[in-house]
Amino acid sequence: MNFKKQGLKNKATNGINSKNKWKSRTDFKKRNSKHKISSIMEIKKYNSKYKSILNNANNRLKNANRRFKNNSFKHTKWSISILAVLMISFLLVFKFGEGRNLKEAMNFTKIQISRLEETESLKRDKLFSIVSKISTRKISDPLEVYDKIAYITIDDGPSQYTSQLLDILDKNNVKATFFMIGPNMKTYKDEVKKISDSGNSLGLHSMTHEVKSLYKTEKSTLEEFDTCNDILKEICGYKTRLIRIPYGSKPYMSESIYNSLVQNNYAIWDWNVDTEDWKSNTTQIVSSVKVAGSDKKKLIVLIHEKKQSVKALDDIISVLKSNGYKILPIKESYEPQNFWNNNI
């Protein structure tokens, strides 16, 4: 009897243990299933981020390709190389995604996209430089290549501030255009040479900067700029077509004077952003550029060689770059932008 009881007791115990094992296995499967679902969701989440980043980069490339499509020069090799980098990045990212460290894959993708953007910018600059030098068709408007461009133009020099301005430009890896007054060129010959040697553009801004004498006759206006050009050739060994009329090509200059200058092969440049730095402080100068840079594809920024302008230049460059502008010096081949042409 005791034996039978003991046997029944053992069977009951075994049944309970079996039930507990089954329950333990079921709980384990549930937990493992939840863990797998969580891991899958995590991978999907990161892969979604990868796709988003790569799609954004791909869209940038497509936009760049569309902008280049109608140009006279070809960029097929450049496009293929960039797309190849993109595809390699895509494959490597998903290879990382299969591993343990998903954050490492995310960081890898960001680095690749950053390099891609840098490469795109450098390639475009190099292509623009090469085409400008060897193309039979001179580029008349850099908007053929860039989405937004800005020219920083500096009047009334050279002066005691020229070297400081050049240092700031060099530090930011940008070039500007200096419109110079004849007597100042004679006084600061070394500065004129520095402007030229550093790759910035040189332009003329008259001899007298006086309304009454400068605009007296067609002859008097032409003589002032011809004299400036002679001074430039004496210092640098060459002349320039680029000129800026003091106080702008309107309203003081007559149409006959304008036509006379154009017929003598001068390229007249005005501006569409007047910082009024001659009467403004540094904050006001920078603010004027911020406001103007919100809705224009092409900016021609006017500043003068003054102490407050030197202080503002670094911030002006930062504002222009942050708003997507490519800062360029004016070239003689570019179409003149002035009030008479109504193209600014």
Cβ-Cβ contacts under 8 Å for 157 (sequence gap 6 or more)? 165, 178, 179, 180, 181, 184, 188, 191, 305
The CATH class of the 146-327 domain is alpha beta
Structure confidence by residue, pLDDT tens digits, 200-244: 999 999 999 999 999 999 999 999 999 999 999 999 999 999 999
Checking if the pLDDT of 302 tops 90, the result is: yes
- CA distance linking residue 115 with residue 120, whole number of Å: 8
Q: Which of 75, 155, 270, 277 is an active site residue?
A: 155
Return mean pLDDT, the chain: 80
Checking if the pLDDT of 3 tops 50, the result is: no
Q: How many Cα atoms within 13 Å fall on the side-chain side of residue 144?
A: 17
Structure confidence by residue, pLDDT tens digits, 86-99: 666 555 555 554 44
The residues spanned by each domain of the chain are: 2-134, 146-327
304 is catalytic: yes
Checking if the pLDDT of 195 tops 50, the result is: yes
DSSP letter at 330 equals: -
Q: Which of 156, 270, 277, 304 is an active site residue?
A: 304
Beta-carbon count within 10 A of 337 CB? 20
- CA distance linking residue 150 with residue 146, whole number of Å: 10
Q: What pLDDT sits at residue 140?
A: 85
Checking if the pLDDT of 50 tops 90, the result is: no
User: What distances in angstroms separate CA 330 from CA 215, 271, 279, 344, one per listed residue?
Assistant: 25, 12, 26, 14
Quick one: tokens of 124?
Answer: 């475009």
209 is catalytic: no
Q: What does pTM read for this prediction?
A: 0.66
User: What distances in angstroms separate CA 187 from CA 181, 182, 231, one per listed residue?
Assistant: 10, 9, 11
